[in-house]
Amino acid sequence: MPLVELSRDGAVALVTLNRPPVNALDQQLSQELTQAFRECADPAIRAVVVTGDPHFAAGADITGFKTAFESGTDDELAGALTEAIWALESLEKPTIAAIQGFALGGGLELAMGADFRYLAEDAKVGQPEILLGLIPGAGGTQRLPRLVGYQVAKELVYSGRHVGAEEAQAIGLADKVVAADELLEVAMADAAKWAEGPTRALAAAKRALNQGWGQPMVQALEIEAAEFANAFATEDAREGVTAFLEKRKPTFTGR
């Protein structure tokens, strides 16, 4: 049975973790996630939602760590999970992580690879690796401060505590908090709206934001200028300007 399910609803792809009971992350699951996200690069897919039920991902499969300790080798999960998160973050289209239950450790690191995080009201997120004598190993110490700020991220990593949905939204870790029974519906509906947008312009905006972040202003503006030129050359840009002048709603095709 596959550990990751990939389905389509129009131009929206739904990537679902399927490793009961809590979607504990191991090397195989991470590799299947990488493959699913690579398939989502298909131009016919214009937005992506990633989720898990009843938990998004409750963290790493700790039995793999024990095996690595006993064999005297490095655990391979961090590398495989890092590759999966890069595959998600690199998708040139809007992405949403729809989080119910727990998104802890690697689960939160995976969610941070998405553009947006929607949390069920009773969801819990956190980086509890420190409680095992470890630290986040798939981008948590780097993506978390970019979302919530350096000091807040430091406290969360040092304490390893679980963060509720309301606090997650207050600190910028959650973009929306939704009733649990409405979470996936809301995420899919919002993704469908993104999928109707100018896909190549959204991709250009995503590249400019991601690549320009942390760069000196001169280099960041050069990145933005190059991406503006890319967006300007698209059919969607011509359609958007024409529709504005004709006072009608544009019909974007993603070209």
For residue range 17-26, what is the model confidence (pLDDT) as tens digits? Answer: 999 999 999 9
Q: Give the separation between CA 98 and CA 72, rounded to whole angstroms.
A: 37
Structure tokens, 83: 């590759």
Cite the beta strand spans of the chain per DSSP E.
4-9, 12-17, 47-52, 95-99, 102-104, 116-120, 124-126, 163-164, 176-178
| Res. 74 pLDDT band, cuts 50 70 90 | low
Domain 199-245 has what CATH class? mainly alpha
The mean of the pLDDT values for the chain is 94
Active-site residues: which are they?
Answer: 109, 129
User: CATH 3.90.226.10 region(s) of the chain?
Assistant: 4-195
> Average of pLDDT values for 192-217?
94
CATH of domain 4-195: 3.90.226.10
136, 156 Cβ separation under 8 angstroms: no
* pTM for this entry: 0.93
User: CATH 1.10.12 region(s) of the chain?
Assistant: 199-245
Q: Give the separation between CA 17 and CA 25, rounded to whole angstroms.
A: 9
Q: Give the separation between CA 37 and CA 193, rounded to whole angstroms.
A: 20
Q: Count CB atoms within 10 A of the CB of residue 241.
A: 12
